[in-house]
Amino acid sequence: MITLRPSDARGHADHGWLQARHSFSFADYWDPRYTGWGNLRVLNEDRIAPGTGFGMHGHRDMEIITIVLAGVLTHRDSLGHQAVIRAGDVQRMSAGRGIRHSEVNEGPDPVHLLQIWIEPTVRGIDPGYEQRALRPSIVGTGVRPIARPAAARQGGPSPAPDAPLTIHADAALDAATLHGPQALQYPIAPGRCAYVHVVRGSVHLAGRRLGAGDAAMVADEPAITLSDADHAEVLLFDLAPNGATPVPA
């Protein structure tokens, strides 16, 4: 089963300083057909005007991935951390038992970003961060792993700068750059589901051409086939229905 999610069918919020597109129900946008897919809960595409942003606000028990597509975003949090996320960077924040943070565009140009929330497998962990520089584009050439479950990381030295981010969730995130007639097959294990989001360009999937912002929800399929791409950058999610459990005392 492949259900297409056209870009212009997403929820839209115009706050003046913020233009937001919501792939799933979020804030004032509610659609009971789109409350998440597997353990993917949020995929927002935001454009933030210069000198504005999200003030200090709280999260808990969520894996939050931010991919900056254009501009520069400044992150600050209640633990005293500060980070700059530039175009092509990706940051993972594990909200865990609770954290407050802000995301502000302090630069002269608009910030264009994707923010992704994935339900964790455990609750109440210590908040944490990772950040990777994936410039000049979010993916480079071919397929690149962006995030993998923390349980998949083996012990030993610190990961390489280009290693995938670790998330405390039963999910994986890959990105692919495609151009031309070559086909890419993305396998889906039995019992799992997938989500495809086109970041830039266009690509052929399930008899339809998908452009920037278009997406597809996939279940009960052995693989996704992407083909006939025109400078496409695509996010590919490997997902599972997921119930979080408390951390043992």
What does the pLDDT look like over 102-143, one tens digit per residue? 899 998 999 999 999 999 999 999 999 899 887 545 555 578
In order, the DSSP letters of 18-59 are EEEEESS-BTTB--TT-S-BTTEEEEEEEEE-TT-EEEEEEE
Task: Establish if 61 belongs to a structural domain.
Answer: yes
Cα–Cα distance measured from residue 92 to residue 35, given in angstroms and rounded to the nearest whole number: 22
Q: What percent of the chain has pLDDT over 90?
A: 71
Task: Establish if 249 belongs to a structural domain.
Answer: no
Mean pLDDT of 195-206: 96
Residue 249 has pLDDT above 80, yes or no: no
Print the domain residue range for 135. Answer: 2-243
Task: Establish if 179 belongs to a structural domain.
Answer: yes
Beta bridge partners of 4: 216
Task: Establish if 86 belongs to a structural domain.
Answer: yes
Cα–Cα distance measured from residue 3 to residue 218, given in angstroms and rounded to the nearest whole number: 6
Task: Establish if 75 belongs to a structural domain.
Answer: yes
Cα–Cα distance measured from residue 21 to residue 194, given in angstroms and rounded to the nearest whole number: 20
Closest C-alpha to 106, from 70, 71, 56: 71
Mean pLDDT of 160-175: 88
The total of structural domains in the chain comes to 1
Phi, then psi, of 150 in degrees rounded to 5: -60, -30
Task: Establish if 153 belongs to a structural domain.
Answer: yes
Task: Establish if 197 belongs to a structural domain.
Answer: yes
Q: Give the domain CATH number at 183.
A: 2.60.120.10
Task: Establish if 248 belongs to a structural domain.
Answer: no
